[in-house]
């Protein structure tokens, strides 16, 4: 093995480790079932866990910050370590944007909103009219772009086998949950949007773990095939 190949594998290990830890930290919402938190998983947004004034806000906000601070250098590392191709470049940049948006989420937490107030808007979830909605939307959009870009790249370039065989299934589940949320939020009544969002976020976490595994496998593949 050449010195360059050893360096590539070493950097790949760091990228995979950072991505995997980020995926685990993005699952911090599971602590709502452990900590003494009065939430309704069926009808509540996960953003309410680290909303202003919540007793365990720092726990969930810190986890989100860790996600961002790990994924930003991991995405930059992916851009420099692996051969640049259009789709994977889009994927790494989108992943970087996801990390930055996740940090922004903690900087603009959800605040208590009186549905009767005009600035809160109307609808099933008036919180969607707050600045936090923008950062959350950017985060979801960014990781969706990253997942789609890497999935298409896996088929087009015949690489990233784990993302081609497993990641696509996770992407499909996350997409279905997103469609569930988008459609249900425009209908009258309650459609368990809390469950939909938890499925969506779980899919994001699992996809990050799949990406971490794919990075490790990619580092072992012969460079002549890239």
- Tell me, letter by letter, the H, E, C secondary structure of 164-188: HHHHHHHHHHHHHHHHHHHHHCCCC
pLDDT given for residue 29 in this prediction: 95
Mean pLDDT along residues 202-219: 93
Average pLDDT, the chain: 85
Mean pLDDT, rounded, for 84-98: 95
Classify residue 26 by its DSSP letter.
T
Give me 23's structure tokens: 């995926």
Structure tokens at 19: 């991505």
The pLDDT value recorded for residue 7 is 65
Cα three-residue angle 109-31-189, rounded to 5 degrees: 65
Contact present, 145 and 90 (Cβ < 8 Å): yes
Determine the Cα–Cα distance for residues 48 and 220; give it in Å rounded to an integer.
42
14 phi, psi to nearest 5 deg: -65, -40
**In the predicted model, what is the mean pLDDT of residues 103-111?**
86
State the pLDDT at residue 122: 40
For 163-200, write each residue's pLDDT tens digit: 988 999 999 999 999 999 888 877 777 788 899 999 99
Share of the chain above pLDDT 90, in %: 57
> What's the confidence (pLDDT) of residue 2?
65
Q: Quote the CA–CA distance of 32 and 54 in Å, as a whole number.
A: 12
pLDDT for res 224 = 40
Residue, of 132 and 199, whose pLDDT is higher:
199
Question: In this model, does residue 62 exceed pLDDT 50?
Answer: yes
């Amino acid at each position: 093995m050449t010195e360059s190949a050893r360096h590539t594998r070493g950097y790949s290990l760091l990228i995979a480790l950072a991505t995997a830890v980020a995926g685990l930290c993005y699952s911090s919402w599971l602590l709502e079932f452990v900590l003494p938190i009065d939430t309704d998983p069926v009808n509540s947004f996960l953003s309410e866990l680290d909303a202003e004034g919540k007793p365990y806000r720092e726990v969930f906000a810190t986890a989100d910050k860790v996600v961002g601070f790990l994924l930003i250098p991991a995405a930059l590392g992916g851009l420099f370590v692996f051969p640049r191709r259009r789709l994977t470049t889009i994927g790494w940049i989108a992943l970087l944007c996801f990390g930055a948006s996740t940090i922004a989420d903690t900087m603009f937490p959800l605040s208590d909103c009186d549905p009767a107030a005009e600035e809160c808007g109307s609808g099933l979830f008036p919180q969607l009219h707050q600045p936090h909605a923008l950062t959350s939307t950017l985060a979801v959009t960014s990781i969706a772009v990253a997942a789609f870009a890497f999935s298409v790249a896996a088929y087009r370039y015949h690489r990233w086998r784990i993302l081609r065989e497993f990641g696509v299934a996770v992407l499909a589940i996350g997409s279905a949950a997103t469609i569930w949320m988008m459609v249900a939020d425009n209908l009258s009544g309650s459609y368990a949007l809390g469950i939909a969002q938890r499925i969506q976020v779980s899919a994001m976490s699992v996809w990050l773990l799949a990406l971490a595994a794919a990075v490790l496998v990619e580092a072992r593949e012969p460079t002549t095939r890239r």
